Amino acid sequence: MKTEALDPRYRDLDLWPTELAVEAMLEGQMAAIAALQSQTLAIARAAEAAASRLGRTGRLVFVGAGTSGRLAVQDGAELWPTYGWPMTRMVFLMAGGVSALTEAYEGAEDDVEAGRAEIVAAGVGPDDVVIGVAASGRTPYTLAAIEQARSLGALTIAIANNAGSVLLDAAEHPVCAVTGSEIVGGSTRMKAGTAQKAMLNLLSTAIMIRLGLVYEGRMVAMRISNEKLLQRGRGMVQDIAGVDAEAAAQALEVADNEIRLGVLVALGRSVAEGQALLDTHGGDLRKALTALEGRD
């Protein structure tokens, strides 16, 4: 595997001046991001398929082991505060369990039976989208989970860093950034991890966009949980609805700090009318506004 290969250029890395070592590591990070350039179409297709499959009830299921699993969990966990994606519609399957997020569990990534069993226990089915992440592309736990999920009818997406790996072959939508050998041999938390984080960011954000949770470049489904976000939410309502600051603040308060609903209230709809519009259009503010224009 290229990700496990030792690069002879860095055999004396421990003898280098620290600044040169840091510069070399930075170059590696930049190369990792550049490796994604060839994968934009694959990511886009995976995102479109995922958004179509999820509908109103489907779940996002993130699967991984070690660094890859931690990155997957991190990406999924940020979807609730950023896009309002319900935690009830997310499943995190980490080799070794949730405690493996902070502690290494040797051998957990090799547990094929656990990978299969946890997919079954989670009730994964045709409405769900399962994303498996593994730098090697052959982690037994992750591979078994993807194979089991696909057999149950779920849409499967694989993210890896070694072309032609079994995980990529097992999933309907393979995404692969070939990052090559690491500056510190085998430390896939470096280049491979950076590429995985970026791929996950791109994929999940594209899914949220296709689900209508972004409007005019704004996070209109964002959860308001502090004063800074409250001010941001008021600003969104003000800009989108074209009202003054006071009217935006009042509308958002009436809408219980739900930005999309606040926009519709600011445009003169009752909470009930606005919520019905959003429900009819799957929470997509653009579609709701278009329908509103048609009525008017």
Question: Per-residue pLDDT tens for 186-233?
Answer: 889 899 999 999 999 999 999 999 999 999 999 999 999 999 999 999
pLDDT at 218: 96
Q: Which active-site residues does the annotation give?
A: 78, 109
Answer yes or no: are the C-beta atoms of 132 and 142 closer than 8 Å.
yes
Is residue 84 a part of any domain in this protein? yes
Residues 66 and 125 in one domain: yes
Output the pTM of the full model. 0.93
Show the CA angle centred on residue 35, arms to residues 169 and 165, nearest 5°.
Answer: 20
- In CATH, what number is assigned to the domain containing residue 170? 3.40.50.10490
Number of domains in the chain: 2
Whether the per-residue pLDDT at 90 is higher than 80: the answer is yes
Residues 137 and 7 in one domain: yes
- Give the 3-state secondary structure of residue 108: helix
Could you tell me the two tokens for 116?
A: 């299969």
Query: Looking at 185, 210, 235, which one is the last position of a domain?
Result: 210
Is residue 36 a part of any domain in this protein? yes
pLDDT digits (tens, 9 = 90+) for 1-30: 677 777 888 889 999 999 999 999 999 999
Query: Looking at 210, 242, 271, which one is the last position of a domain?
Result: 210
pLDDT at 296: 58
Residues 183 and 236 in one domain: no
pLDDT at 295: 67
**H or E stretch covering 130:** strand 129-134
Containing domain of residue 151, as a range? 2-210
Show the CA angle centred on residue 189, arms to residues 185 and 192, nearest 5°.
Answer: 80
Work out the mean pLDDT of the chain and round it to a whole number.
95
Residues 85 and 184 in one domain: yes
Answer yes or no: are the C-beta atoms of 177 and 32 closer than 8 Å.
yes
- Specify which residues 157 forms β-bridges with: 131, 173
Residues 171 and 57 in one domain: yes
Of the two residues 100 and 17, the one the predictor is more confident about is: 17
Is residue 31 a part of any domain in this protein? yes
Whether the per-residue pLDDT at 284 is higher than 90: the answer is yes
Whether the per-residue pLDDT at 294 is higher than 90: the answer is no
Q: How confident is the model at residue 104 (pLDDT cuts 50, 70, 90)?
A: confident
Residues 99 and 183 in one domain: yes
